[in-house]
Amino acid sequence: MAEPLLVLFVVVALAWPLGHYLAAVMRGDPLRSDILFGWLERPIYRLLGTRPQAGMGWRGYAKAFLLSNLLLAVVIWTIFMTQAWLPLNPDGVPNMSWDLALHTMVSFLTNTNQQHYSGQAQLSYLAQMTGIVGLQVVTPVMGLAMVAATLRGLFGGRKPQAQADGQATTIDVGNYWADVVRAALRFVLPLCLVLSALLTWQGVPATLAAGPVATPVAASAEFKEQKIPLGPVAPMVAIKQLGSNGGGWYGPNSSVPLENPTPLSNFLEAVAIALIPVSIVFMVGPFTGRRRFGAMVFATMLAMSVVSAGLSLWSEGHSATALDAALMEGKEVRLGVDASALWAALTTQVNNGSVNTMLDSTAPLTGMVSMVNMLINAIWGGVGCGLQQFIVYLLLAVFLAGLMTGRTPELFGRKIEGPEVRLLAVLVLLQPVVILGFTALTLAWPGLAGNSNPGFHGISQVFYEYVSAFANNGSGFEGLGDATSWWNVTCAIVLALGRYPALVIPLAIAAMLAAKRRAPEGAGSLQIETPTFVLTLIGIVIILTLLQFMPVLVLGPVADHLSLSQLLAR
């Protein structure tokens, strides 16, 4: 247990000061670094045609978010389909097909990084650095900007802005462009620079030269030489870990020694997975002025994280099927079982998706824990979007707790009424409809799934792919033949449905609540910053997950575990 505890200690120790610094950045407080960063930011604001002090209503903020995503989508999709004709392609990588380029673009645009390609063989250096690494920097801070705007709406961080007609007011939730620019330049990129240097020191490649050609030890007439792909790997690994991205430079991700060469690099990358999401949790208290609320968020997420990681460590190392699973192809042997199980837990608690072992080869119950982590999608979660999903659970818990106690549901003195509940219902129902619908359709059509196992594990493979897409995680059970038009198109749809409603709808709800008259909190008000409410919130999260997905979990990983247990007992 030494490594998991050390990772947790280092993450919390670093995230505490980073969270307070991030709160100052997102508030726009004067900082000593303004001399440097102000010089970098001012030309960007002029290019965007915006003033950072100018606020936006929630509709304007959401439109700016969606517009920026649309423009990036067109540019990146074009780069992927024309990379063979563009510079920085020393290995002569061909163009991507339209459907693979579509899936790859949507995957990285939604901060998911689900890969139906092998990066070292199917992307040029230019495509990697712009379409992949570029989006890996931008999309996390977009999520961070959206959650900052939502918190401003919930807690009245900005004063109401008068509309042009002078008759109504629109809640000022901040300036989208300023939030994105400040978060990227002042927070994410400096962290990436530090981690990239540390990984380069550990042996991760960082070059624009073509990869060398080696003669294999067991050379034959058909296999005389092997080209070893290199590239600017270290910067990509740094942002993929810190930005809850996860897409690897190499197809097998951080299980490749070039991407994760030493135990120290493995430790650094594991810490990086959770660092920014936990920092955002620590940001909540100083950013909103309600430190007890920030402590409640941290306690809830930490409790779920510890239970999840403990179950993964037990399942992978000590369950009835762990020994059998250890003989499967793709099992990690360089770094050990505990390091693999911890990474599997962290990468799905956070919307990261990177792997240092093949999840398809883990014990069935380990795979189920990973699925449940993604279905909850609020155990730390991705950069910004994890806290956004937590707010959805919080609103649901307040509403249900109000019904159970016979009081009008209120959050911080503002009533949660029909319009807000209907929007919450859309988010609650969207997840099972999309995931279960596409899973059922894929399994029902013969030959469509392309799964390597026709039994219970095959169900898990298909279900995991759609869960990963909807949760914007990106990891997968790699026994799946997902490089087809069906998988590319359907996963692109699921990726978009899992990203945009989950970011925009909570912002709309926050603005609707902020527009209401605030009643003073008294003895009869629901106290959410208590251990009792934390347990209630966790209970509602578990009940929602089990009610919606228990049948498919039983048919997939649970049945897989039982069948393997019977096989081992014979």
- Looking at residue 168, its pLDDT comes to 43
- Flag whether 448 is in a domain: yes
Task: Let me know if residue 426 belongs to a domain.
Answer: yes
CB 170 within 8 A of CB 512: no
Rounded CA-CA distance 510/420 in Å is 9
For 26, 58, 141, 146, 270, the CA distances from 179, given in Å and listed in that order, are 6, 14, 8, 9, 27
Please give the tally of structural domains in the chain.
Answer: 1
pLDDT of residue 453: 80
**334 to 154, 322, 399, 445: CA distances (angstroms):** 47, 17, 48, 39
Compute mean pLDDT per 10 residues along the chain, 570 residues long, and list them.
90 97 94 91 93 91 96 96 91 91 95 84 86 92 96 73 48 93 96 96 87 76 76 90 86 86 94 96 94 94 95 84 57 78 94 88 91 95 93 93 80 87 94 96 88 86 95 87 91 97 95 84 76 93 91 93 78
The model's pLDDT over 5-50, given as tens digits with 9 standing for 90+, comes to: 999 999 999 999 999 999 999 999 999 999 999 999 999 999 999 9
Asked if residue 11 belongs to a domain, the reply is no
Cα separation, 292 vs 25, whole angstroms: 21
Angle between helices 559-569 and 456-470 (to 10 degrees): 150
Is 1 a domain residue? no
Nearest Cα neighbor of 67 from 389, 500, 407, 485 is 500
Residue 149 lies in a domain: yes
Name residue 162's beta-bridge partners.
169
Helix (H, G, I), strand (E, B) or coil at 226: strand
Q: How far is CA 161 from CA 58, 64, 92, 508, in A?
A: 11, 17, 54, 16
Radius of gyration of the chain (CA): 23
Contact of 179 with 188, CB cutoff 8 Å: no
- Tokens found for residue 507: 């912002």
At 329 the pLDDT is 59
Q: Are 137 and 189 in contact (CB under 8 A)?
A: yes
CA distance 231 to 249: 9
The 10s digit of each residue's pLDDT in 196-235 is: 999 999 999 988 787 788 877 776 767 777 778 888 889 9
Is 7 within the bounds of a domain? no
220 is a domain residue: no
Backbone angles phi, psi at 149, to 5 degrees: -65, -40
Instruction: Please state, in angstroms and rounded to a whole number, the distance separating the CA atoms of residues 316 and 306.
Output: 15
Q: What is the pLDDT of residue 286?
A: 94
The range of the structural domain enclosing residue 440 comes to: 17-212+228-569
Dist CA 462 CA 39 (whole Å): 49
Closest CA to 360 of 447, 462, 270, 443: 462
> What is the 8-class DSSP label of residue 95?
P
- Domain contains 299: yes
Rounded Cα gap, residues 158 and 400, in angstroms: 29
| pLDDT number for residue 507 | 95
Taking the C-alpha atoms of residue 196 and residue 247, their distance in angstroms, rounded to an integer, is 16
